[in-house]
Structures are given as C-alpha cells and as structure tokens.
Amino acid sequence: MAELTQGFRAVVIGATGGIGSGFVEKLHQHSSCGDVIGLSRSTTPALDLTDEASIEAAATSIGGEVDLVIDATGFLSDGETQPEKSLRALNVENFARLFAINATGPALIMKHFLPLLPRDRHVIFATLSARVGSIGDNGLGGWYAYRASKAALNQIVRCASIEIGRKNKQSLVVSLHPGTVETGLSDPFASDRDRLSPQKSASMMLDVLFDLAAEETGSFWDYRGERIEW
Ligand SMILES: NC(=O)c1ccc[n+]([C@@H]2O[C@H](COP(=O)([O-])OP(=O)(O)OC[C@H]3O[C@@H](n4cnc5c(N)ncnc54)[C@H](OP(=O)(O)O)[C@@H]3O)[C@@H](O)[C@H]2O)c1
C-alpha cells in the first residue's frame, strides 16, 4: 500500500455521470484530498471524448500537477445503439461509436492527462472498464461491441502502465469494474435490488485504489478489491 500525498489534487473525468458524481462527492469528503476538479461535456472547459482538442484543452486548464486522475466516462446503449445478442445484430456504426467512447477516448485522456502526474511520488490513474470486458471471464457471450471496446481499453491501460512505470516506479495505472450500479447506463438491464448506489461504488473503489501497491500497476480490479483476469 502506498499513500497519496496529504492534500492531494484529484481530477474526475465524466464528473456529471452517475459514478463520476459519486467519485466527486466522496473525494470532497476525503480528509487527505485538497482539491477535486470535475470535467465533463457540460463543464467549462467542456471535455468531449470524440474531440481530441477539447481533451487537450481540458488537461491544459488544470494548470499544474495532479496526483489522482479518474476516468469515469463510458457508453453502453441508447435508443439507437443496443448491445448485440448475436452476430446477426452486429452493426458497423455501433461498433465505431462504442470504440470511440470506450477505448479511443480514454486513450486520448491518458495521452493528455498522464503527463500531469508528477514522477517523484505515488500517483494514480484509474479508468472505469467493466467485468464483461474480461476475455478470460466471458462465459455468456453477446454484447460484442461493448465487451470488445472494454477489452481494448484494458489493453491500452496495460500499455500505458508500462510506459508510465518506466518514468515513475511509484505510479499505479489500473482498470476498475464498479459493480452493477444505479445509473442511467445500467437502468435498462438491472433492477435496483441488484445494484449499488453510485456513492457506495465510488467509495469502495477509492478504498481499493488507496489500498493497492504501485507493484500492482497494469491490472484490473473490482470494487471489492478482487483482481479480475484480463
Ligand atoms: N453502471 C454500471 O452498472 C456499470 C457497470 C460496469 C461498468 N460501468 C462503467 O462505468 C463507467 C461510468 O458509467 P455510469 O454507470 O456512471 O454511466 P453514466 O451515468 O451514463 O455516465 C457516463 C459518463 O460518460 C460520459 N460520456 C459519455 N460519452 C461521452 C463523450 N462523448 N465525451 C465525454 N464524456 C462522455 C457521460 O457524460 P455526460 O454526463 O456529458 O453524458 C457521463 O459522465 C462507464 O465506463 C461504464 O461502462 C458501469
């Protein structure tokens, strides 16, 4: 276990989302956290995952170093895009959309926000993946584009952890599964009985992040602190 410096600065991207809001709330209440900056499509500056210039401008707006960056963005479905139950349902536009938001966008977040992490102390970058992105854990099939986009995200996290780890041996770069959480994203697929509140999920994931040693960088964890296979 390694601790972030007292009074650490945190950035939450996707701060207006269900789980992102939970992270912002819990970080505001955290005794060691000195500053929390929330970014999303509706903040100033606005950060849109499909517009690299907006990601770069948002990173520049931070003005200085941060110790903790959490990417809580992501997309599963809406009226136009639904998870595929079979190969027959595969659709090029849906695949491109899921990959743009769940894999390429977070990769660009890593490109522009990881340089804000100092190299001389413990720092953390975490992105919200999903257990269904685990290839080893896939026993049900279906949800092709969402699963594949999260598997791609996991590979990007692994690559970035190696690159950042060469410059800072105290860095922790990980993917997280938040559990099934009461948000708009899971509303169509789960009942409240089975879901965690966003605050509970965020609080449990912060505990996991603050408990993990830097040696665990480049790995995938659930909200209970259990490792998930790739
Ligand atoms: N909820 C669950 O049960 C569950 C389970 C497993 C994994 N996850 C993962 O957890 C993460 C957060 O999900 P959530 O449940 O909190 O969903 P959510 O409430 O729908 O939040 C999604 C967030 O992603 C942002 N976003 C989407 N498209 C964007 C874009 N083009 N540019 C910038 N931001 C964009 C949204 O921004 P706006 O506010 O601007 O729309 C919002 O902040 C996702 O990666 C999801 O895959 C969730």
- Over residues 28-52, the pLDDT tens digits come to 999 999 999 999 999 999 999 999 9
Residue of 39, 104, 185, 201 with the most ligand 1 atoms within 8 Å of its CB, for mutation: 185
Is 101 a pocket residue for ligand 1 (Cβ < 6 Å)?
yes
Is 203 a pocket residue for ligand 1 (Cβ < 6 Å)?
no
What is the band of 1 on the pLDDT scale with cuts at 50, 70, 90?
low
Index of the ligand 1 atom closest to the CA of residue 131: 6
Is the confidence at residue 178, as pLDDT, over 70?
A: yes
Do 19 and 202 touch, CB atoms closer than 8 A? yes
Say how many Å lie between the CA of residue 120 and the centre of ligand 1. Answer: 31
What is the band of 21 on the pLDDT scale with cuts at 50, 70, 90?
very high
Is 176 a pocket residue for ligand 1 (Cβ < 6 Å)?
no
Is 130 a pocket residue for ligand 1 (Cβ < 6 Å)?
yes
Index of the ligand 1 atom closest to the CA of residue 127: 45
Is 145 a pocket residue for ligand 1 (Cβ < 6 Å)?
no
Index of the ligand 1 atom closest to the CA of residue 195: 3
Average pLDDT score over residue span 47-76: 97
DSSP classification of residue 102: I
Rounded to two decimals, what is the model's pTM?
0.98
Do 57 and 44 touch, CB atoms closer than 8 A? no
Mean pLDDT of the chain: 97
Say how many Å lie between the CA of residue 185 and the centre of ligand 1. Answer: 7
**Calpha distance 33→197 (Å, rounded):** 22
**Calpha distance 147→191 (Å, rounded):** 21
Average pLDDT score over residue span 223-228: 98
Is 178 a pocket residue for ligand 1 (Cβ < 6 Å)?
yes
**Calpha distance 133→56 (Å, rounded):** 27
**Calpha distance 177→189 (Å, rounded):** 16
Is the confidence at residue 194, as pLDDT, over 90?
A: no
User: Can you give the pLDDT at residue 109?
Assistant: 98
> pLDDT tens across 134-171, in order?
999 999 999 999 999 999 999 999 999 999 999 999 99
Average pLDDT score over residue span 208-213: 98
User: Can you give the pLDDT at residue 156?
Assistant: 98
Is the confidence at residue 123, as pLDDT, over 70?
A: yes
